[in-house]
Structure 1
Amino acid sequence: MSDAITMGILWHLIGAASAACFYAPFKKVKNWSWETMWSVGGIVSWLVLPWLISFALLPDFWGYYGAFSASTLLPVFLFGAMWGVGNINYGLTMRYLGMSMGIGIAIGITLIVGTLMTPILNGKFDVLIGTPGGRLTLLGVLVALVGVGIVTRAGQLKERQMGIKAEDFNLKKGLLLAVMCGVFSAGMSFAMDAAKPMHDAAAALGVDPLYAALPSYVVIMGGGALINLGFCFIRLAKVPSLSIKADFSIARPLIITNLLLSALGGLMWYLQFFFYAWGHARIPAQYDYVSWMLHMSFYVLCGGLVGLVLREWNNAGRRPVGVLSIGCVVIIIAANIVGLGMAR
């Protein structure tokens, strides 16, 4: 396995670790509605940071975006909006199925759809089945899916042992939302593929290849922001029990603390895709579709490890922790199989 591929996998791991940890600051926010907290974090992660970083990277910020036609930018934006719909459905999936079942189904579906549909739509499926490296990479994807399933099973055992139940369990509604979440969340993978002309243009302007994908986030995350912020603002305006005015009527020190914590959560959320771009840049072009598989499987891996570090599994018993450990090992094996396949 080449050093470049190894570093690509490592950057994806770091990005996934940030994704697994990003909600920790949000949990410390007090006396705010979820919609206000999520909006503040979202403004930082979907609008402020993409724009600031792109402005710093590009020699001519407005000229860069103005050089693209609507036919190039619109699919990138719409795939970003598609991914935003997946974000909304993710939270609802957890409500109706619980964390473990919801994550397992949603992540499993988005891992498959986001990884395999890109080469299929681009007419490159023969790379998967027609070459030794492609077949080995495909095997790694399947092994990762098994690892996700094992970690999901560990979570179910933990929830059963600790008496944790879904907030409003509804199998039929939850499964529908999980499928929708899995499919729509794959929009980020599709958006990155559609944004390749933007990546190439940034590189042509002298932007380091590690950072070449970052300017496209202005458009991708703009689509996601439209959906997420629109959802939050509509709820804040329409739901009687929610009010921005009430959220900002609390003591000023607590407002400042909540703003900083929400902004920190937004920063950590953005960093997952900052390092995703770094990892994506190190993956060979013919196998760039595996970036999504690496990110999502590592997300499940890091989520389990973070839970262990935060002692969330202390009262779960030995069996759930043992199953979790097996699942984590399987995901690590999958990443190595994918790496070997790309090195062929």
Structure 2
Amino acid sequence: MNNAIFAGILWHLVGAASAACFYAPYKKVRGWSWETMWSVGGIMSWIILPALVSFILLPDFWGYYRSFTSSQLLPIFLFGAMWGVGNINYGLTMRYLGMSMGIGIAIGITLVVGTLMTPLLQGRFMALFSSTGGRLTLSGVMVALVGVAIVTRAGMMKERALGLDAQAFNLHKGLLLAAMCGFFSAGMAFAMHAAKPMHVAAAALDVNPLYVALPSYVVIMAGGALVNLAYCFIRLAGKSSLSLKADLSLTKPLLISNLLFALLGGTMWYLQFFFYAWGHACIPSHYDFISWMLHMSFYVLCGGIVGLVLKEWKGVGRRPVGVLSLGCIVIIIAANIVGLGMAS
């Protein structure tokens, strides 16, 4: 495995670790509705940071975006909106299936769809079977899916041991939402592929290869922001004026604290895709579809590790922790298989 591929896998791991930890600051927010908290963090991660980073990177910020036609930008924006729909369905999936089953099904579907749909649409999928590297890479994807399934099983064992249940368990509704979440969340992978002309244009402006994908986030995240913020504002509008005033009538120190924690959560959320861009830049172009598989499988891996560090598995017994550890090991093996495939 050459150094560039190893660096790409490492950066995807760093991004996934940020994704696994981003909600921790939100848990420190007190007295705000979920919609207010999510909107504040989202404005930071979907609008402010993508625009600020791009403004720093690009010699002519407005000129860069004006150089593209609406027909070039619209698919990127719509795929971003598609990914935003997946984000909303994610929370509903947890409600009806519980954390472990919901995450396992949703992540499993988005891992497969986001990874394999691109080569399928490009007509390159069957060609992967004709080379040793292609076969190894596809094998790594399947092994990662097995690892996700094992970690999901461990999570279900944990929930059972701790007596945790979904808020309103509904298998049929939950499975439908999980499938929708998995499919729509893959919009980010599709958006990154559609944004390749933007990456090329950024490279032509002497933007560092590690950063060429970042200016496209302004368009991708705008699509996701439109869906998420519209959902939050509609829900806020449906609440009583008293509940809305309550969010803003907290003491000044608590308001500042909530604002800082929400902005920190939004920053950590953005950083997952900041480092995703770094990892994506290091992956060989004919295997760039693998970036999504690495991100999602590492997300599950890091989520398990973070849970252990925060002692969320305390008191569940040795067997669930052992199954979790096995799943994490399988995901690590999958990443190595993919790395060997790309290096072949």
TM-score range, shorter chain: over 0.9
- 1:89-126 Cα offsets, whole Å, 9 max, x none, are 00000001000000000000000000000111112113
The one-letter amino acid paired with 1:254 is L
Supply the distance in 2 between the matched residues of 1:38 and 1:200 (Cα, whole angstroms): 33
1:308-319 matched pairs, under 5 angstroms: 308-319=308-319
Alpha-carbon shift at residue 241 of structure 1 (Å): 8.0
The one-letter amino acid paired with 1:116 is L
Any idea what SS the aligned residue of 1:210 has?
A: helix
Supply the distance in 2 between the matched residues of 1:215 and 1:178 (Cα, whole angstroms): 30
Confirm whether residue 214 of structure 1 aligns to residue 229 of structure 2: no
Supply the distance in 1 between the matched residues of 2:80 and 2:242 (Cα, whole angstroms): 27
The one-letter amino acid paired with 2:80 is G
Confirm whether residue 155 of structure 1 aligns to residue 121 of structure 2: no
Supply the distance in 2 between the matched residues of 1:52 and 1:99 (Cα, whole angstroms): 34
How many residue pairs align between the two structures?
344
- Please say if residues 162 and 316 of structure 1, whose CA atoms lie closer than 8 Å, have aligned partners that are also in contact: yes
Q: TM-score, length-normalised on structure 2?
A: 0.99
1:51-70 matched pairs, under 5 angstroms: 51-70=51-70
Supply the distance in 1 between the matched residues of 2:239 and 2:172 (Cα, whole angstroms): 25
Alpha-carbon shift at residue 128 of structure 1 (Å): 1.9
Confirm whether residue 170 of structure 1 aligns to residue 166 of structure 2: no
- 1:143-183 Cα offsets, whole Å, 9 max, x none, are 00000000000000000000011111111110000000000
Match of 1:203 in 2: 203
Match of 1:30 in 2: 30
Match of 2:276 in 1: 276
The one-letter amino acid paired with 1:98 is G
Match of 1:184 in 2: 184
Alpha-carbon shift at residue 286 of structure 1 (Å): 0.2
Alpha-carbon shift at residue 229 of structure 1 (Å): 0.4
Supply the distance in 2 between the matched residues of 1:262 and 1:37 (Cα, whole angstroms): 6
Any idea what SS the aligned residue of 1:155 has?
A: helix
Identity of aligned residues (%): 76
Any idea what SS the aligned residue of 2:207 has?
A: coil
- Please say if residues 85 and 228 of structure 1, whose CA atoms lie closer than 8 Å, have aligned partners that are also in contact: yes
Supply the distance in 2 between the matched residues of 1:122 and 1:112 (Cα, whole angstroms): 16
Any idea what SS the aligned residue of 2:29 has?
A: coil
1:1-344 matched pairs, under 5 angstroms: 1-240=1-240, 243-344=243-344
The one-letter amino acid paired with 1:304 is G
Specify every segment of 5 or more residues in structure 1 that has no aligned partner in the other structure, as ranges: none
Supply the distance in 2 between the matched residues of 1:122 and 1:283 (Cα, whole angstroms): 18
Supply the distance in 2 between the matched residues of 1:242 and 1:83 (Cα, whole angstroms): 33
Supply the distance in 2 between the matched residues of 1:263 and 1:239 (Cα, whole angstroms): 24
The one-letter amino acid paired with 2:182 is G
- Please say if residues 237 and 243 of structure 1, whose CA atoms lie closer than 8 Å, have aligned partners that are also in contact: no
Which runs of 4 or more aligned residues in structure 1 lie more than 2 Å from their structure 2 counterparts after TM superposition? 239-245
Supply the distance in 2 between the matched residues of 1:316 and 1:63 (Cα, whole angstroms): 57
The one-letter amino acid paired with 1:22 is F
- Please say if residues 235 and 242 of structure 1, whose CA atoms lie closer than 8 Å, have aligned partners that are also in contact: no
Supply the distance in 2 between the matched residues of 1:201 and 1:153 (Cα, whole angstroms): 44
The one-letter amino acid paired with 1:261 is F
- 1:260-313 Cα offsets, whole Å, 9 max, x none, are 000000000000000000000000000000000000000000000000000000
- Please say if residues 46 and 221 of structure 1, whose CA atoms lie closer than 8 Å, have aligned partners that are also in contact: yes
- 1:11-65 Cα offsets, whole Å, 9 max, x none, are 0000000000000000110000000000000000000000000000000000000
Any idea what SS the aligned residue of 2:169 has?
A: coil
Alpha-carbon shift at residue 246 of structure 1 (Å): 1.9
RMSD: 0.9
Alpha-carbon shift at residue 131 of structure 1 (Å): 1.3
Supply the distance in 1 between the matched residues of 2:267 and 2:127 (Cα, whole angstroms): 36
The one-letter amino acid paired with 1:273 is F
The one-letter amino acid paired with 1:338 is V
* Shift in CA distance, 241/127, structure 1 to aligned 2, threshold 3 Å: farther
Which stretch of the first structure deviates more once superposed, 321-330 or 164-173?
164-173
Alpha-carbon shift at residue 245 of structure 1 (Å): 2.3
Any idea what SS the aligned residue of 1:300 has?
A: helix
Any idea what SS the aligned residue of 1:167 has?
A: coil
- Please say if residues 83 and 184 of structure 1, whose CA atoms lie closer than 8 Å, have aligned partners that are also in contact: yes
* Shift in CA distance, 242/278, structure 1 to aligned 2, threshold 3 Å: farther
Supply the distance in 2 between the matched residues of 1:231 and 1:101 (Cα, whole angstroms): 25
- 1:217-249 Cα offsets, whole Å, 9 max, x none, are 000000000000000001000133884322011
Supply the distance in 2 between the matched residues of 1:88 and 1:242 (Cα, whole angstroms): 25
- Please say if residues 4 and 282 of structure 1, whose CA atoms lie closer than 8 Å, have aligned partners that are also in contact: yes
* Shift in CA distance, 91/140, structure 1 to aligned 2, threshold 3 Å: same
